[in-house]
């Protein structure tokens, strides 16, 4: 029973981190119809910033990681801007190109073997709560995930700019005809996704302390799978999908015998295929329901 609770806590923690990545992807998709594969490199940039600022206080490293992620995210917005009216295939290929370009740039600068980030390593120590040993980072990941998801939900549902973002995501042209400033909502979406990427990088840097060129890419792939499983067209569903993938990864990993764990991804993606065969619009989208993308 104790092991089950530990698995559940770890599953919720990784689910929260993947949910943040899925939210970052979903925010940009909502306003631009762009599946940004290069989002992983925004996470990687934040991780390398943590690496390069090792000598600074933790708060300064965190702040600089957020700044780096925001700057790279906004630079991507600048690159994608002329492509706003391009076909989805063109935009997708462009994001692949940017992703591989940045990965290779990182490999040239830092090498492929990885370097230790050493960020808040103490959070990997465990605490006993009601007989269950849980790492501090598990609790921190859950808390950070909950706070950022709640803050995003508040911004989207309770503020004027959030309403404009939701309108732009639901019907971009009609929103513009009502006076919603297209550029502002797109820039805000990229800015928010940058902040989320930095948060993901910090949570992961504690648990996987090696900065590599594929640091973020390896997170974005399962998060994107989660987005598709949840429902690409709705932000809440996409975020929930990200959570489900993170949660399922941990639970499957604990359920599989140790000699079979090499098949973890195969088992996970097998489940994804089954889900998409049964619910092609997404796990959390009701059939025939009109979509609100944010």
Partner 1 sequence: MGDSVLGVDQLEVRYGSIRAVRDLNLSIDAGETVGLIGPNGAGKTTTLMAIMGAVPIYSGDVSFHGRSLKGESSEVIARGGIALVPEGRKIFGSFTVAENLRLGILGRRSPDGLADDLEWVHSLFPILAEFSKRPAGQLSGGQQQQLAISRALISKPDLLLLDEPSLGLAPAIVDHLFAALDEIRKSGVTILIVEQRAELAVEFADRSVVLRNGEVALTVSGDDRISADQIAAAYFGS
Asked whether position 87 contacts partner 1 by CB under 8 A, the answer is: no
* DSSP H stretches of helix in the chain: 2-32, 39-52, 58-80, 88-110, 136-158, 160-170, 172-177, 182-207, 217-230, 235-255, 264-278
Other beta carbons less than 10 A from residue 269's beta carbon = 13
Which one among 15, 73, 120, 166 touches partner 1, defined by CB under 8 A? 166
Which one among 5, 52, 171, 276 touches partner 1, defined by CB under 8 A? 171
10-18, 106-114, 176-184, 237-245 -> range binding partner 1 (CB under 8 A)? 176-184
Binding mask 110-149 for partner 1 (x = CB under 8 A): ----------------------------------------
Helix (H) or strand (E) holding 116, with range, is strand 115-116
Asked whether position 281 contacts partner 1 by CB under 8 A, the answer is: no
Other beta carbons less than 10 A from residue 46's beta carbon = 33
Q: How far is the CB of 167 from partner 1 (least distance, A)?
A: 6
Asked whether position 290 contacts partner 1 by CB under 8 A, the answer is: yes
The distance between the two most distant Cα atoms of the chain, rounded to a whole number of Å, is: 59
Which one among 14, 34, 144, 180 touches partner 1, defined by CB under 8 A? 180
- Tokens representing 197 are 């990427």
Nearest to 111 by CA among 219, 218, 220, 215: 215
What residues line the site for partner 1 (CB under 8 A)? 160, 163-164, 166-167, 170-171, 173-182, 290-292
């Amino acid at each position: 029973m104790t092991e089950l609770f530990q698995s559940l806590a770890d599953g919720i923690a990784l689910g929260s981190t993947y949910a943040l990545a899925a939210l970052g992807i979903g925010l940009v998709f909502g306003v631009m119809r762009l599946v940004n594969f290069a989002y992983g490199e925004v996470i990687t940039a934040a991780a390398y910033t943590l690496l390069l600022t090792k000598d600074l206080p933790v708060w300064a490293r965190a702040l600089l990681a957020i700044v780096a992620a925001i700057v790279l995210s906004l630079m991507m917005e600048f690159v994608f801007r002329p492509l706003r009216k391009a076909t989805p295939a063109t935009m997708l290929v462009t994001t692949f190109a940017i992703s591989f370009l940045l990965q290779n740039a990182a490999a040239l600068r830092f090498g492929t073997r990885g370097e230790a980030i050493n960020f808040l390593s103490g959070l990997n120590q465990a605490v006993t709560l009601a007989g269950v040993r849980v790492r501090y980072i598990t609790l921190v990941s859950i808390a950070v995930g909950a706070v950022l998801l709640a803050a995003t939900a508040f911004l989207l549902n309770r503020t004027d700019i959030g309403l404009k973002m939701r309108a732009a995501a639901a019907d971009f042209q009609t929103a513009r005809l009502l006076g919603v400033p297209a550029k502002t909502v797109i820039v805000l979406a990229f800015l928010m996704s940058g902040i989320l990427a930095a948060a993901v990088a910090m949570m992961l840097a504690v648990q996987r302390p090696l900065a590599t060129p594929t640091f973020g890419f390896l997170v974005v792939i399962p998060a994107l799978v989660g987005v598709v499983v949840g429902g690409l067209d709705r932000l809440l569903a996409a975020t929930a999908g990200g959570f489900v993938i993170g949660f399922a990864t941990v639970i499957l990993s604990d359920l599989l015998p140790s000699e079979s764990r090499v098949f973890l991804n195969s088992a996970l993606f097998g489940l994804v295929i089954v889900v998409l065969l049964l619910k092609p619009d997404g796990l959390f989208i009701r059939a025939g329901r009109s979509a609100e993308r944010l």
